């Protein structure tokens, strides 16, 4: 089993739609969770950290379910500029970041 698994997509959604991505992780000792965004042929950039209580940043909401070992990202009111690959990232205490393969999102006009 991969350490971090994501549905690769692509998710093709119209502008204004709400879309959700899930990610599962295998290491129950994982402590930190993140969503990174990566545009085509660009470097990954931190979108948001994921906290146990869930957190929201504008149109983006991230949630963590430790019992089921998954994290989610919800994007409301999708914009064309949201088109990118979203990488789920998990980290242990002193262990390196472990990246999922990413989920590709295309927002269509």
Partner 1 sequence: EAEVAQSPRYKITEKSQAVAFWCDPISGHATLYWYRQILGQGPELLVQFQDESVVDDSQLPKDRFSAERLKGVDSTLKIQPAELGDSAMYLCASSFGYNEQFFGPGTRLTVL
Binding site for partner 1 (CB under 8 A): 4, 8, 41-46, 49, 87, 89, 94, 96-97, 99-102
Q: Nearest Cα to 64, choosing from 80, 48, 53?
A: 53
Helix (H, G, I), strand (E, B) or coil at 80: helix
Kindly state the smallest distance separating residue 32's Cβ from partner 1, in Å.
8
Q: Which is nearer to partner 1, 76 or 91 (CB)?
A: 91
Alpha-carbon dihedral of residues 79, 80, 84, 90, nearest 10 degrees? Answer: 0
Kindly state the smallest distance separating residue 30's Cβ from partner 1, in Å.
14
Q: Which is nearer to partner 1, 82 or 102 (CB)?
A: 102
């Amino acid at each position: 089993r991969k350490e971090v698994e994501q549905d690769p997509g692509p998710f093709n959604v119209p502008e204004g739609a709400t879309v959700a991505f899930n990610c599962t992780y295998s290491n129950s000792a994982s402590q930190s969770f993140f969503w990174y965004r990566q545009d085509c042929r660009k470097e990954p950039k931190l979108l948001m950290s994921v906290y146990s209580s869930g957190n929201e940043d504008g149109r983006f909401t991230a949630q963590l379910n430790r019992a089921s070992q998954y994290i989610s990202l919800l994007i409301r009111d999708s914009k064309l500029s949201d088109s990118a690959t979203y990488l789920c990232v998990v980290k242990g205490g002193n262990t390196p970041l472990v990246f999922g393969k990413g989920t590709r999102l295309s927002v269509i006009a």
